[in-house]
Amino acid sequence: MTKKTIKVISLFSGCGGSDLGMIGGFRFLNKSYTKLPYEIIFALDKDKKAVETYNKNFKICAVANDIEDIDCNKIGHTDLIVGGFPCQSFSTVNPSKDPYDERGQLYKHMARFLKEKKPKAFIAENVKGMLVLKKGSIFSKIVNEFLLAGYKIEYKLLNAADYGIPQKRQRVFIVGVRDDLNMSFKFPESTHSEIPSGKIKKWVGIGNIIKSLVPEDPKYYFSQRAVDGMKKAKNNMKRGLWQNLEQPCLTITSHLAKVSINSRDPVLLVNNKKWLYRRFTPREAARIQSFPDKFEFVGSESDAYRQIGQAIAPVMMWHIANSLYRQVFC
């Protein structure tokens, strides 16, 4: 029996991590993520380089534009809308950011699409800081906006490491199912855990994707000046957060091109006696995010790091999209 094709609008699509996960049909760490019956009919992002990457890896061409300028009535019928609306305004790492700035209001445009297109369901993603910012009032406003659009909402803070991704990446996923369907979405069960039991496997360590601690190019090493600065730093500072290869990595961010050894960013320790530290290569960062090696990134290394760090991990989205299909569209 042929599966019905599910039409999808992808908002804030970035380089395509979420869409790769939705479509499936790729391998990661020797595991096959089967093709799912989703078809992206429209993809949009403001980042031109991310859109170039998207268009290099997908059959459909994404549009580089502001969501405010898009008339959703000119887009065909859709069954599902997905979007990781920009999260910088909701970050707890930089509490000085204004959660009410323009970026913090973009979820309203996603709600606009929902009201106009009335798909059966939607998936939204954001940083965990959104849950606690302004004592939770920001998150309540966002959820209420989606409720008013006519959807029953379920949300959960998920850790990518719990789904076989070598990264401790916590993100909030909000899934809405249209009210008239009278259904409640159930999030997929974890496949991995820090403490495995039964069918639940042990977390995947980054040693599975790091081919060699010694980089092919010495430019990835931190300079002696940076290392000396780390040695002089106060003991209470986050410094030299080198990663245990047997454990998942700390969260991959969008600024790894300018990563500091005196920060919360993950780094690799190459040689303890020689104080040799290095940052991840773009390909290593992509693997930590669960992108297959055949996925190509367009632009400079800084562009690639930004696209990778801002992406939704494909394997994470695959699990959610697969569960949604079985519960709502099957």
DSSP code per residue over 157-196? EEEGGGGT-SB--EEEEEEEEEGGG-----PPPPSEESS-
| Non-local CB neighbours of 69 within 8 Å, separated by 6+ positions | none
Starting at the edge strand found earlier in the chain, the sheet holding 38-45 runs 63-64, 38-45, 6-11, 80-83, 121-127, 170-178, 151-159
106 lies in a domain?
A: yes
pLDDT at 314: 98
pLDDT at 98: 46
39 lies in a domain?
A: yes
Considering the domain architecture, whether residues 272 and 321 belong to the same structural domain is answered as: no
pLDDT at 3: 77
Provide the b/e sequence for 278-294 (b: ≥16 CB within 10 Å).
bbbbbbbbbbbbbbeee
> CA dihedral defined by 22, 55, 111, 138, rounded to 10 degrees?
90
Could you tell me the CATH number of the domain that includes residue 166? 3.40.50.150
Is the pLDDT reported for residue 102 higher than 60?
no
305 lies in a domain?
A: no
Q: How far apart are CA 56 and CA 195, in angstroms?
A: 39
Considering the domain architecture, whether residues 325 and 188 belong to the same structural domain is answered as: yes
pLDDT at 238: 61
Q: Which of 16-25, 90-99, 199-208, 227-236 has the lowest mean pLDDT?
A: 90-99
Averaged pLDDT for residues 32-36: 98
Averaged pLDDT for residues 96-107: 62
Rounded to a whole number of angstroms, the distance between the first and last alpha carbons of the chain is: 12
Averaged pLDDT for residues 5-18: 97
Is the pLDDT reported for residue 119 higher than 90?
yes
Considering the domain architecture, whether residues 223 and 194 belong to the same structural domain is answered as: no
Considering the domain architecture, whether residues 237 and 193 belong to the same structural domain is answered as: no
296 lies in a domain?
A: no
Considering the domain architecture, whether residues 252 and 105 belong to the same structural domain is answered as: no
- In sequence order, the β-bridge partners of residue 37 are none
Mean pLDDT of the chain: 92
Per-residue pLDDT tens over the stretch 160-200: 999 999 999 999 999 999 999 999 999 999 999 999 999 99
Averaged pLDDT for residues 125-153: 94
Averaged pLDDT for residues 16-36: 97
Considering the domain architecture, whether residues 151 and 48 belong to the same structural domain is answered as: yes
pLDDT at 134: 87
Amino acid letter, residue 70: I
Q: Which residues are catalytic?
A: 87
Averaged pLDDT for residues 143-157: 97
Considering the domain architecture, whether residues 171 and 129 belong to the same structural domain is answered as: yes
Considering the domain architecture, whether residues 124 and 236 belong to the same structural domain is answered as: no
* Contact criterion met (CB below 8 Å) for 304 and 281: no
**SS3 state at 36:** coil
* Contact criterion met (CB below 8 Å) for 8 and 40: yes
Averaged pLDDT for residues 115-123: 98
More confident residue, 260 or 168: 168
293 lies in a domain?
A: no
Concatenating the DSSP letter of every residue in 254-279 gives TTGGG--SSSSS-BEEEETTTTEEEP
Is the pLDDT reported for residue 100 higher than 70?
no
14 lies in a domain?
A: yes
* Owning domain of residue 228: 206-287
- In sequence order, the β-bridge partners of residue 157 are 172
Which two tokens mark 99? 């959660």
Structural domains of the chain, count: 2
304 lies in a domain?
A: no
Q: Which of 105-109, 167-171, 206-210, 298-302 has the lowest mean pLDDT?
A: 105-109
Considering the domain architecture, whether residues 234 and 277 belong to the same structural domain is answered as: yes
97 lies in a domain?
A: yes
Considering the domain architecture, whether residues 86 and 181 belong to the same structural domain is answered as: yes
pTM for the complete prediction?
Answer: 0.93
Backbone φ and ψ for 149, nearest 5 degrees, come out as: -75, -10
Per-residue pLDDT tens over the stretch 64-95: 999 999 999 899 999 999 999 886 555 554 55
More confident residue, 149 or 230: 149
Considering the domain architecture, whether residues 193 and 251 belong to the same structural domain is answered as: no
Considering the domain architecture, whether residues 228 and 260 belong to the same structural domain is answered as: yes
